[in-house]
């Protein structure tokens, strides 16, 4: 595990009358000096007592359990530390000194809007706070609107940038982002656009679990506050997951992913630090239930910045907390490259680990396709970071992606070309959604590391402050993750109490039979079967952990099955070719045939999806050949399992690609 570096914070000790020395930002110091006692100032106040998540971050627990543990730890800390401050602020409201406040748990802090005299006399003298800052408005990484030539329409074909990052190679394997959730924290998104309307998560869940508007005039359904010809948030969302099914117009990397969105960066409309913190807090628990994690986004795409020149401690803590829960955070690098070195702004200049915070440079895809291996866009912001560190920690950005003249959706059902790192970042976010479908038990950090390590070098040899590690290649990242060997013990545990439920004499089958407790080596996402006779009570639910290696973690989710039945772990990937089963066509579209020889006559059949769910079953097959209708099955990888009457199992991988 890479060591996380906590960076020093630029602060100023206030020596004004009645103010103790505190960690106070320079801009808040200047604001206090310029205002009179009765002027209202809005600040963010970070508590000194923050939740310690190191044990969760470093643990090998299942990613879902890690998310639950993180949320519960953060909420527990807030519950223990907020009451005295809330009482203080409520009393200030009664006196007329405090206008409003908001408490947060995603990072232990408060937003306080109060008179200058109250802030100086009460808040700045309170030793419970470690850092105070002005709750400033944050800014959008503005793109360039490109001239739209007559040939920008690419109906029926994927956009060039999608092929540049090898997204099509993942589609060929059946990975299209299905089951993944992508999120933008941006100007919103146009839910009525034909490339986005089908994939908004709010079609299937309550609206407040798929949309949050923290602007001054919040709307109840998704919309975009940007001018129609730019439609920044809509454009970004389209790059991640856009597809118009009417004409197969593919603009998105992970076109079967669902999207959720936050309207958080509408100029002058309340997009301060505290509002963005509220967005991240919502993203960690959209449905308000800390025990459910399937509502969380897998990746949050960001294209905003803070004009401060410091390495903000609040953002450092916020991003670490969110990523400990398994969510990937991705940022555009910014469009200030003409300012030269160290032009990457706050908070994307933070470097607490190799990939936190993960920002993306903009390459000119047309130059790359024509053989130019130095295709950086001039306006793409450069490193190094000004937040300290050495080696790779100092280098910014992390990776690069196509961001010039990118075609995606804009408002009113139209399409447009935009250029900027804001267009590069969602290529990375979409790539994470593809990888998450293939490796659902990996964290966002692990998926970002795979993209980081497998990027194709551009510019000067090696990692540099223009391209980072280079151009992302999602297919190479996929192969990298497949090749990760993991050593450790497989242990079955009850998910409710964590108790081990392995018993003597039971066996786990991988490529060969091993005894429980033995050290084994298995590939990430390889197939693991429990032998018939594995003893567990009816209706049991439990998980299998390869305890010393996270990529080997897998769910055991076939509940309600008796001990005599063969059971499966989810996240099946390894192709164990069955010699007695023939499937054709494979890949299949709307149907396929299964040919069985007489040896497996009277067998039973089950088809299992990549998540381990049984989607089709039939017992006592009497015919040698069967037709299976797959019209209702989404694209992806499935496993066809035949069990003969003598107990022999045969498994063949099936790809459905429509």
Task: State whether 522 and 461 are in the same domain.
Answer: no
Task: State whether 208 and 304 are in the same domain.
Answer: yes
Candidate from 307-321, 445-459, 493-507, 534-548 with smallest mean pLDDT: 534-548
Task: State whether 506 and 591 are in the same domain.
Answer: no
**Residue 3, domain member (yes or no):** no
Among residues 2, 54, 1, the alpha carbon closest in space to that of 391 is found at: 2
And the tokens for 443? 């964290």
Count how many domains the chain has.
Answer: 4
Look-up: residue for tokens 């970042």? 425
Task: State whether 50 and 70 are in the same domain.
Answer: yes
Interacting residues of 393 by C-beta distance below 8 A, sequence separation 6+: 5, 351, 353, 354, 385
Of 312 and 160, the structure prediction assigns the larger pLDDT to 160
Q: Which contiguous run of DSSP H or E holds residue 317?
A: helix 313-324
Quote the pLDDT of residue 528: 36
Mean pLDDT of the chain: 80
Give the domain-ending residue among 452, 482, 512: 482
Of 12 and 116, the structure prediction assigns the larger pLDDT to 116
**Residue 589, domain member (yes or no):** yes
Of 656 and 647, the structure prediction assigns the larger pLDDT to 656
**pLDDT tens-digit series, residues 381-429:** 999 999 887 889 999 999 999 999 999 999 999 999 999 999 999 999 9
- Spatial distance between the Cα atoms of 55 and 356, rounded to a whole number of angstroms: 18
Q: How confident is the model at residue 560 (pLDDT cuts 50, 70, 90)?
A: very low
Give the domain-ending residue among 512, 544, 568: 568
Among residues 137, 153, 92, the alpha carbon closest in space to that of 118 is found at: 92
pLDDT at 576 over 50: no
Task: State whether 128 and 162 are in the same domain.
Answer: no
For the chain, helix (H) and strand (E) counts, in that order, are: 14, 34
Q: How confident is the model at residue 454 (pLDDT cuts 50, 70, 90)?
A: very high
Burial of 509 from C-beta contacts in 10 A (0-12 / 13-18 / 19+): middle
- Spatial distance between the Cα atoms of 647 and 509, rounded to a whole number of angstroms: 15
| Cβ contact 450:477 at 8 Å | yes
**Residue 9, domain member (yes or no):** no
Task: State whether 329 and 379 are in the same domain.
Answer: yes
**Residue 107, domain member (yes or no):** yes
| Cβ contact 46:109 at 8 Å | yes
Give the domain-ending residue among 134, 165, 192: 134
Three-class DSSP category at 314: helix
**pLDDT tens-digit series, residues 495-507:** 444 444 443 233 3
Among residues 88, 108, 109, the alpha carbon closest in space to that of 98 is found at: 88
> ∠ CA 44-212-350 to the nearest 5 degrees?
45
Question: Helix, strand, coil: what percent of the chain each, to 5?
Answer: 25, 25, 50
Extended strands (E) in 308-443: 328-332, 358-363, 399-402, 406-410, 414-419
pTM confidence score: 0.76
User: Any idea what the CATH number is for the domain that residue 150 is in?
Assistant: 3.40.50.200
Task: State whether 257 and 336 are in the same domain.
Answer: yes
Task: State whether 471 and 509 are in the same domain.
Answer: no
Of 58 and 21, the structure prediction assigns the larger pLDDT to 58
User: Any idea what the CATH number is for the domain that residue 608 is in?
Assistant: 2.60.40.3080
pLDDT at 81 over 60: yes
Task: State whether 312 and 209 are in the same domain.
Answer: yes
**Residue 361, domain member (yes or no):** yes
Q: Whole domain around residue 526: which residue ranges?
A: 485-568
Task: State whether 445 and 559 are in the same domain.
Answer: no
- Spatial distance between the Cα atoms of 330 and 451, rounded to a whole number of angstroms: 12
Task: State whether 504 and 372 are in the same domain.
Answer: no
Of 199 and 638, the structure prediction assigns the larger pLDDT to 199
**Residue 21, domain member (yes or no):** no
**Residue 619, domain member (yes or no):** yes
| Cβ contact 187:224 at 8 Å | yes
Task: State whether 506 and 410 are in the same domain.
Answer: no
Quote the pLDDT of residue 416: 93
**Residue 10, domain member (yes or no):** no
């Amino acid at each position: 595990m890479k060591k996380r570096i906590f960076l020093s914070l630029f602060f100023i000790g206030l020596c004004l009358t009645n103010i103790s020395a505190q960690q106070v930002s320079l801009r808040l110091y200047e604001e206090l000096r310029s205002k009179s006692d009765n002027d209202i100032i809005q600040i963010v106040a970070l508590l000194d007592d923050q939740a310690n998540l190191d044990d969760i971050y470093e643990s090998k627990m299942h990613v879902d359990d890690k998310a639950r543990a993180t949320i519960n730890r953060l909420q527990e800390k807030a519950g223990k530390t907020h009451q005295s401050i809330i009482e203080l602020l409520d009393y200030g409201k009664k006196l007329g000194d405090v206008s409003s406040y908001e408490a947060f748990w995603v990072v232990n802090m408060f937003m306080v809007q109060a008179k200058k005299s109250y802030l100086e006399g009460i808040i700045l003298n309170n030793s419970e706070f470690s850092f105070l800052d002005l709750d400033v408005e944050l800014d959008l990484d503005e793109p360039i609107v490109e001239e739209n030539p007559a040939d920008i329409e690419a109906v029926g074909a994927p956009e060039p940038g999608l092929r540049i990052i090898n997204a099509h190679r993942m589609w060929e394997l059946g990975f299209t982002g299905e089951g993944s959730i992508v999120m933008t924290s941006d100007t919103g998104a146009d839910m009525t656009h034909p490339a986005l309307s089908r994939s908004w998560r709010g079609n299937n869940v309550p609206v407040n679990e798929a949309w949050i508007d923290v602007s001054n005039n919040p709307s109840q359904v998704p919309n975009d506050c940007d001018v129609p010809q730019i439609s920044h948030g809509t454009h970004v969302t389209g790059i991640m997951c856009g597809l118009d099914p009417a004409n197969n117009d593919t603009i998105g990397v992970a076109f079967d992913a669902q999207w959720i969105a936050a309207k958080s960066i509408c100029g002058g409309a309340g997009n301060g630090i505290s509002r963005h913190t509220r967005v991240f807090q919502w993203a960690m628990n959209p449905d308000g239930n800390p025990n459910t994690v399937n509502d969380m986004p897998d990746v949050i795409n960001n294209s905003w910045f803070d004009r401060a020149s410091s390495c903000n401690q609040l953002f450092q803590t916020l991003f670490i907390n969110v990523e400990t829960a398994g969510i990937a955070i991705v940022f555009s690098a910014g469009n200030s490259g003409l300012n030269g070195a160290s032009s990457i702004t706050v908070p994307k200049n933070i470097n607490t680990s190799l990939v936190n915070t993960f920002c993306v440079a903009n390459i000119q895809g047309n130059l790359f396709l024509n053989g130019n291996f130095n295709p950086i866009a001039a306006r793409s912001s450069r490193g190094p970071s000004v937040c300290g560190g050495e080696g790779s920690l100092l280098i910014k950005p992390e990776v690069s992606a196509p961001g010039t003249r990118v075609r995606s959706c804009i408002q009113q059902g139209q399409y447009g070309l935009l250029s900027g790192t804001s267009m590069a970042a969602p290529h990375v976010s979409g790539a994470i959604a593809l990888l998450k479908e293939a490796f659902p038990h990996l964290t966002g950090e692990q998926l970002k590391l795979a993209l980081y390590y497998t990027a194709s070098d551009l510019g000067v040899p090696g990692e540099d402050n223009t391209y980072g590690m280079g151009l992302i290649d999602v297919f190479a990242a996929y192969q990298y993750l497949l090749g990760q060997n993991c050593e450790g013990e497989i242990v079955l545990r009850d998910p409710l109490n964590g108790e081990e439920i392995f018993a003597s004499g039971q066996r786990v089958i991988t490529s060969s039979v091993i005894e429980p407790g033995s050290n084994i080596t298995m590939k990430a996402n390889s197939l693991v079967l429990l032998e018939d006779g594995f003893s567990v009570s009816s209706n049991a639910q439990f998980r299998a952990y390869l305890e010393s290696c996270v990529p080997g973690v897998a769910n055991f989710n076939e509940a309600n099955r008796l001990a005599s039945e063969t059971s499966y772990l989810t996240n099946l990937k390894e192709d164990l070719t069955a010699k007695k089963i023939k499937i054709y066509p494979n890949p299949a579209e709307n149907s396929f045939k299964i040919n069985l020889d007489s040896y497996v006559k009277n067998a039973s059949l089950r088809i299992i999806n990549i998540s381990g769910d049984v989607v089709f079953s039939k017992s006592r097959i009497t015919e040698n050949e069967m037709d299976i209708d797959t019209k209702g099955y989404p694209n992806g990888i499935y496993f066809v399992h035949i069990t003969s009457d003598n107990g022999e199992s045969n498994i063949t991988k099936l790809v459905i690609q429509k």
